[in-house]
């Protein structure tokens, strides 16, 4: 089992390194020439280590994959270098530098190592000056300092905006001096591909000559890894693409522990990506925050004019600028720690309830806020760098056209875990200082509540319109009922009155046989009135009654309907032809029986002489069945089809008794069951009419 041992000396943090140096074993100058050290990497750390070890007397082999140590990525550190020299007499100290560095590292750094860095920081400046680094100086010749982000004292030594480059040139000069003296043997264009260990200690490396491809081995008493961090872990960063940490990975595979596999820095002054061919971000010097002020327009219209190039930054007065760092962090102002700057900006955007997404010209997601991640239920970090089209399936409607160079407002629908949500989308193009389109910003405002309220209002209006239409239809129906019932009840009532007069007269004349016949007619007229009332009650019940559809046996229902009409069928000598079997459908057996009774009675009444009736069914192959009944009567003209079910008129008015409510009842029942009613006729004697209805199976 491996045990993590950082080899940090014991003791208090302020004394442990001094005590360690005082008690450490030293190597005599005569023995140093017998020892060899391999240094991987020739940036600021590697070049300085190789030059210093060579000056101490060790034999050094330095390796880099570039064609010259001058091409190390350390050149990118242009802002400055800190040291606790207290030249400005502003109460700086080793402890204050230690504290600021620990805090700036989000309390993740090893405190003992950071304290050691603070202790030797003054000596590092002296070494750089000795190497010829042209630090800026005051008028009197003393080294100059300036403020830097994250601290309240001036401790930064700088060389204009080229500090990293000048530091690297200084280290490179010291390294070249040792190369010339023979203390350092330089291997450029060599890549370390393996680490050689003996008894758990690094004793050499295997390297590839990147020019010839030859694999070579190199032995040493110690190996120093100064190859930098893994910059490519980020999709876009200010690191060179060659920062792939391959040497660190080789050491890890040999059992080394990863203390910090990627040195992470946050640069709030990066220039965003501006094209599909850009592989890394552009860094503006951190010194800009020392000499300038960070601000954003207070007014949205000013920001819009800036984006469109109508006005320039200098056209906005100070009172219309939001110096948000000075406002939020008055002690530090613009020199607030660099990680706080994007955090402040990020918090402002993340606190928005609206979703924000930034897309470049190749439809790649550059940035999103937390609200957008919540909208589509995705992690923000997983979204950045992906193609936006990967998430287009979440949009139920077409997303805005991405090639537009003008603002517009649209609506879209997004599928979420909570269902479907509606959004108002504001599209804004992003342009550079040449007014060229370089990206797009989408602002998604949730309008689900408003949309649902509108939908509810529309639905209520639709229900109200339907209810009004139903009431109007009811009024029409009632008017038709009144006309029909008044007409049809008038005859039997008149007959009843006339019959009673005849009965009285017959009784007075003692003609009992004739009176009995009149009473039979009176009874028949009473049944007619009762049937009219029953059918009116049926219409009312269909309109109001709720039901749960169940499976019904059409065979039993049809047979029961035929039984009810046996007397009428025998009287008219009607023939009824039935199929061998009937399908099972969902509905209400009593109501469907009433439908068949009405259709059969009409077919018998209006059929030929004698009536021949054919009944049947048809599977529509979509879960529905069509039922039909055909008679052999005279038929009907097509212009009368609609009136059959709406005006409650009889199929014929000459020699057939009735009141015209049967087909209205049929239509109401079938529509209540979720079906439809149809009628067709060739209007030719002998071919009659075909009445049909559709129900769900």
Q: Report the pLDDT value the prediction gives residue 105, as an integer from 0 to 100.
A: 77
Which of these three, 490, 516, 544, is where a domain ends? 544
Biggest distance spanned by C-alpha atoms of the chain: 164
Q: What global pTM score does this model have?
A: 0.54
Which of these three, 513, 544, 575, is where a domain ends? 544
> In this structure, are 350 and 432 located in the same domain?
yes
Radius of gyration of the CA atoms of the chain, in A: 48
Q: Cα separation of 48 and 131, whole Å?
A: 10
Sign of CA dihedral 51, 54, 58, 64: positive
Q: Read off the tokens for 537.
A: 């009650």
Q: Report the pLDDT value the prediction gives residue 655, as an integer from 0 to 100.
A: 42
Q: Report the pLDDT value the prediction gives residue 355, as an integer from 0 to 100.
A: 81
> In this structure, are 293 and 423 located in the same domain?
yes
> In this structure, are 399 and 483 located in the same domain?
no
Q: Does the residue 391 lie in any domain?
A: yes
> Which residue do the tokens 């402890």 mark?
95
> In this structure, are 460 and 407 located in the same domain?
no
Q: Is 518 buried (19+), middle (13-18) or exposed (0-12) by CB count in 10 A? A: buried
CA atoms within 13 A of residue 544's CA, in its CB half-sphere: 6
Q: Cα separation of 91 and 489, whole Å?
A: 114
> In this structure, are 632 and 497 located in the same domain?
no
What DSSP element (H or E) covers 425? strand 419-431
CATH number at residue 567: 3.30.565.10
Domain that holds residue 409: 289-441
Total domains present in the chain = 4
> In this structure, are 611 and 536 located in the same domain?
no
pLDDT at 256 over 50: yes
Q: Read off the tokens for 117.
A: 């860095």
Check 155, 289, 338, 650 and give the catalytic one: 338
For the stretch 515-567, pLDDT in tens is 566 566 666 555 555 655 565 555 555 555 566 778 888 888 888 888 888 88
443 CB neighbour count, 10 Å cutoff? 18
For the stretch 600-649, pLDDT in tens is 888 888 888 888 999 999 988 888 999 999 998 888 887 777 777 664 45
> In this structure, are 436 and 305 located in the same domain?
yes
CATH number at residue 378: 3.30.450.20
Q: Read off the tokens for 71.
A: 């091409």
> In this structure, are 434 and 296 located in the same domain?
yes
Q: Does the residue 26 lie in any domain?
A: no
State the average pLDDT over residues 231-235: 73
Which of these three, 544, 573, 600, is where a domain ends? 544
Spatial CA neighbour of 611 closest among 601, 626, 621, 620: 601
Q: Report the pLDDT value the prediction gives residue 589, as an integer from 0 to 100.
A: 82
> In this structure, are 430 and 477 located in the same domain?
no
For the stretch 658-693, pLDDT in tens is 445 677 778 888 888 888 888 888 888 888 889 999
208 carries an active-site annotation: no
- 195-209, 265-279, 360-374: segment of lowest average pLDDT: 265-279
> In this structure, are 426 and 508 located in the same domain?
no
> In this structure, are 339 and 436 located in the same domain?
yes
């Amino acid at each position: 089992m491996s045990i993590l041992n950082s080899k940090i000396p014991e003791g208090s943090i302020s004394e442990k390194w001094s005590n360690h140096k005082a008690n450490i074993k030293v190597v005599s100058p005569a023995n140093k020439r017998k020892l060899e050290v391999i240094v991987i990497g020739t940036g600021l750390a590697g070049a300085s280590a190789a030059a210093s070890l060579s000056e101490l007397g060790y034999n050094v082999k330095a390796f880099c994959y570039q064609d010259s140590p001058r091409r190390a990525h350390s050149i990118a550190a242009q802002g400055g270098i800190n040291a606790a020299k207290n030249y400005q007499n502003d109460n700086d100290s080793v402890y204050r530098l230690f504290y600021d560095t620990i805090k700036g590292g989000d309390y993740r750094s090893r405190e003992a190592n950071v304290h050691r860095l603070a202790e030797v920081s003054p000596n590092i400046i002296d070494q750089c000056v000795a190497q010829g680094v042209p630090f800026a100086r005051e008028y009197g010749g003393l080294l100059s300092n300036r403020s830097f982000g994250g601290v309240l004292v001036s401790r930064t030594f700088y060389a204009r905006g080229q500090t990293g480059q000048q530091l690297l040139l200084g280290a490179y000069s010291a390294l070249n001096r040792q190369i010339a003296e023979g203390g350092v043997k330089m291997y450029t264009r060599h890549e370390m591909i393996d680490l050689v260990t003996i008894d758990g200690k690094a004793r050499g490396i295997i390297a590839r000559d990147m020019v010839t491809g030859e694999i070579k081995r190199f032995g040493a008493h110690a190996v120093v890894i100064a190859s930098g961090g893994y910059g490519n872990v980020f999709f876009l960063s200010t690191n060179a693409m060659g920062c792939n940490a391959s040497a660190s990975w080789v050491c890890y595979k040999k059992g080394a522990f990863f203390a910090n596999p990627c040195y992470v820095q946050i640069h709030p002054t990066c220039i965003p990506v501006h094209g599909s061919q850009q592989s890394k971000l552009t860094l503006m010097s951190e010194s800009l925050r020392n000499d300038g002020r960070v601000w954003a327009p207070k007014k949205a219209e000013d920001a819009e004019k800036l984006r469109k190039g109508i006005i320039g930054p200098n056209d906005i007065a100070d009172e219309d600028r939001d110096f948000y760092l000075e406002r939020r962090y008055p002690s530090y102002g613009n020199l607030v720690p660099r990680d706080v700057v994007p955090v402040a900006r990020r918090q402002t955007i993340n606190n928005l309830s609206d979703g924000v997404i930034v897309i470049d010209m190749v439809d790649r997601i550059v940035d999103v806020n937390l609200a957008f991640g919540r909208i589509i239920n995705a992690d923000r970090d997983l979204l950045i760098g992906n193609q936006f089209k990967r998430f287009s399936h979440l949009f139920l409607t077409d997303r805005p056209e991405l090639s537009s160079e003008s603002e517009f407002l649209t609506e879209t629908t997004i599928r979420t875990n909570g269902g479907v949500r509606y959004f108002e989308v504001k599209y804004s193009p992003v342009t550079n200082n040449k007014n060229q389109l370089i990206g797009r910003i989408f602002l998604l405002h949730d309008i689900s509540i408003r949309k649902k309220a509108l939908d509810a209002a529309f639905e209520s209006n639709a229900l109200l319109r339907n209810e009004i239409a139903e009431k109007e239809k009811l009024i029409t129906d009632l008017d038709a009922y009144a006309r029909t019932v008044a007409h049809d009840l008038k005859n039997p009532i008149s007959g009843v009155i006339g019959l009673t007069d005849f009965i009285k007269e017959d009784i007075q004349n003692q003609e009992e046989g004739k009176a009995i016949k009149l009473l039979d007619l009176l009874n028949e007229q009473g049944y007619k009135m009762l049937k009219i009332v029953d059918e009116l009650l049926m219409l009312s019940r269909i309109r109001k009654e709720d039901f749960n559809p169940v499976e019904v046996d059409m065979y039993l229902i049809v047979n029961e309907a035929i039984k009810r009409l046996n007397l009428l069928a025998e009287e008219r000598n009607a023939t009824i032809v039935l199929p061998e079997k009937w399908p099972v459908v969902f509905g209400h057996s009593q109501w469907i029986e009433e439908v068949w009774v009405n259709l059969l009675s009409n077919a018998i009444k209006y059929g030929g002489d004698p009536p021949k009736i054919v009944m049947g069914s048809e599977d529509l192959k979509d879960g529905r069945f069509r039922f039909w009944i055909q008679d052999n009567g005279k038929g009907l003209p097509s212009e009368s089809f609609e009136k059959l079910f709406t005006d409650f008129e009889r199929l014929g008015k000459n020699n057939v008794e009735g009141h015209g409510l049967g087909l209205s009842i049929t239509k109401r029942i079938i529509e209540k069951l979720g079906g439809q009613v149809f009628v067709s006729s060739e209007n030719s004697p002998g071919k009659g009419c075909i009445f049909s209805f559709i129900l769900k199976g």
